[in-house]
Amino acid sequence: MDDKVALIMGASSGIGWATAEAFASRGAKVVLAARREQELADLTHRIQERGGQASFVVADVAIAKDVQRAVSQAVDVFGRLDYAVNNAGYEGPLASITDFPEEAWDRVLATNLKGPFLCMQFEARAMLAASRGGAIVNVGSVNSFLGAAGFPAYCASKHGLIGLTTSVSAELAPKGIRVNLLCPGIIDTPMHQRGRALFGDALYDNILATRVHSRRAGRPEEIARSIVFLCSDDASYITGTTLTPDGGFVLTI
């Protein structure tokens, strides 16, 4: 991936952080975007210390001008945009449908569904303008297929990514831009650590022991490698589809 440029939205922790490092290790120049400036600065410094090229921009994926600024930074700083990973996500509160706050619904959908829509809109414009093609990966969840009591907004937003991804793939694939959806299972990230704290170790460990074929949580770097694969030339005939690195979780339900 030498001389290629990757934009990672939601790069400040977990899967996004690991994905940025994975692209950089393969020679890509990376632009990191998220809301947390200090974490972005730390990761940028870490990549640069290892000889990579990185830049960052503070951005909220639910705000169009922020997304536009992130995409513009990739083109302005590194001259092009080849790969885009739309990873920013928010799980929202645990609440019954009878009590779920409307403002929480709006925030979850804004981050998890409107965000990827805005990201692909500006990413596609940049890729089409350069006429070099490209690859976009949206990050969903096993909850793109499975409901979960108490998380109606999160599950709805992740289900929605299937339709959004396949629709955009149908439009962009003939123009040389591949769009795919990656749906991780239980991965050891800050989001899942919050889930463990919410539900307790016993429940989490029981799920891993009885419902995940691999009998463990995944590691962010394992998911990052799947994302890099979907962007690479090795996946040149893969578009409009879903890759589910979940240790067998969906197959067990």
Inform me whether the pLDDT recorded for 6 exceeds 90.
yes
Main-chain dihedrals φ then ψ at residue 16, nearest 5 degrees: -65, -45
Mean of all residue pLDDT scores within the chain: 95
Q: Which residues are catalytic?
A: 154
Per-residue pLDDT, 252: 60
Give me the mean pLDDT over the 56-60 stretch.
97
Per-residue pLDDT, 207: 87
Considering the entire predicted model, what is its pTM? Answer: 0.94
> What is the C-alpha to C-alpha distance for residues 117 and 138, in angstroms, rounded to an integer?
10
Per-residue pLDDT, 197: 86
Per-residue pLDDT, 199: 82
Model pLDDT for residues 115-125, shown as the tens digit of each residue: 999 999 999 99
Per-residue pLDDT, 250: 81
Model pLDDT for residues 175-195, shown as the tens digit of each residue: 999 999 999 999 999 888 888
Three-state DSSP state, 171: helix
What's the gap between Cα 85 and its chain centre?
A: 5
Sign, Cα dihedral of 190, 43, 110, 126: negative
Per-residue pLDDT, 191: 84
Characterize the bridge pairing of strands 177-182 and 134-139: parallel
222 neighbors 182 (Cβ within 8 angstroms):
no
> What is the C-alpha to C-alpha distance for residues 23 and 32, in angstroms, rounded to an integer?
11
Cα-based torsion angle of the residue sequence 52, 237, 113, 128 in order, rounded to the nearest 10 degrees: 70
Q: Which residue has the tokens 């994975």?
A: 22
> What is the C-alpha to C-alpha distance for residues 207 and 232, in angstroms, rounded to an integer?
33
Main-chain dihedrals φ then ψ at residue 131, nearest 5 degrees: 60, 35
Pull the structure tokens for residue 54: 């990185």
Give me the mean pLDDT over the 11-35 stretch.
97
130 neighbors 78 (Cβ within 8 angstroms):
no
Model pLDDT for residues 91-120, shown as the tens digit of each residue: 999 999 999 999 999 999 999 999 999 999
Sign, Cα dihedral of 8, 121, 113, 168: negative
Inform me whether the pLDDT recorded for 158 exceeds 80.
yes
Characterize the bridge pairing of strands 134-139 and 5-9: unpaired
Helix (H) or strand (E) holding 199: helix 190-199
Contacts of residue 156, Cβ cutoff 8 Å, sequence gap at least 6: 109
Inform me whether the pLDDT recorded for 251 exceeds 80.
no
Main-chain dihedrals φ then ψ at residue 247, nearest 5 degrees: 65, 15
Per-residue pLDDT, 203: 87
Give me the mean pLDDT over the 20-35 stretch.
98
Per-residue pLDDT, 253: 52
Inform me whether the pLDDT recorded for 34 exceeds 70.
yes
Give me the mean pLDDT over the 194-200 stretch.
84
Pull the structure tokens for residue 52: 């990579």
Per-residue pLDDT, 63: 98
Lowest mean pLDDT among 49-63, 115-129, 171-185, 193-207: 193-207
CATH of 5-187+220-245, one of 3.30.230.20, 3.30.420.40, 3.50.50.60, 3.40.50.720: 3.40.50.720
Q: For residue 57, what are the β-bridge partners?
A: 33
Give me the mean pLDDT over the 116-135 stretch.
97
